[in-house]
Structure 1
Amino acid sequence: MEVICLQDEAFYILIEQVVARLIEKAGQEKEKWVSDEQAMLLLNIKSKTTLQKLRDEGKIRFTQPQKKIILYDRASVEAYLEQNAKNTF
């Protein structure tokens, strides 16, 4: 067995780097399907009726695994936002 000794400062720098890397990794792995609350947050809307309208018009993809559970495809929500983005002059 090998023992590695570190000074206090070097140890804390190492810990900070590990934590930063874990946070970066966690941010990269986004869920494919999001709840209605998460979809509304991404779209910056407050009305479930508006969300239903987008769903009914086929503007965002969704799945309904159970009668009262509707999940939205994160990629289609992001694509909808990109399609409606306006370039600045």
Structure 2
Amino acid sequence: MELKVITMESEAFYALMEEIIQRVGAQKPPRWIREQEAMELLGIKSKSHLWSLRTNLKIEYFQDEDHPKLILYDRESIERYLESNMKKSL
């Protein structure tokens, strides 16, 4: 394997780095997530606890009538739920 060296001016290098940082920062995680990831975000291990949060409308979810076993959870509603239940230390 042959190694090649690429040279560029400092200004061009920093412009390239800034563009890379903007692109990486612009990538958002998916809005709809599966059960396991929802449980990880919430820090819970119990499916019944997740069910309770869902049925008590604490977090938003989507359930397709044609595929009732597939339930997707709204990441943003989970984050809002966590924020609203956060305990601030003194």
The bucket for the TM-score relative to the shorter chain is 0.7 to 0.9
- Structure 2 runs not aligned, ≥5 long: 1-6
5+ residue gaps, structure 1: 1-6
- For the residues of structure 1 that align with 2:30 and 2:61, how far apart are their CA atoms? 14
The total of aligned residue pairs comes to 81
RMSD of aligned residue pairs (Cα, Å): 1.9
Q: Distance in 1 between matches of 2:81 and 2:63?
A: 20
Alignment of 1:81 with 2:86, yes or no, is no
Could you give the per-residue CA deviations for residues 27-67 of structure 1, whole angstroms, max 9, x where no partner exists? xx343322112211211222322211211222211111222
Q: Percent identity?
A: 36
Q: What SS does the corresponding residue of 1:67 show, helix, strand or coil?
A: strand
Which stretches of structure 1, 4 residues or longer, exceed 3 Å deviation after superposition? none
Per the normalisation by structure 2, the TM-score is: 0.71
More helix by share: 1
Give the deviation of 1:87 after TM superposition. 2.0
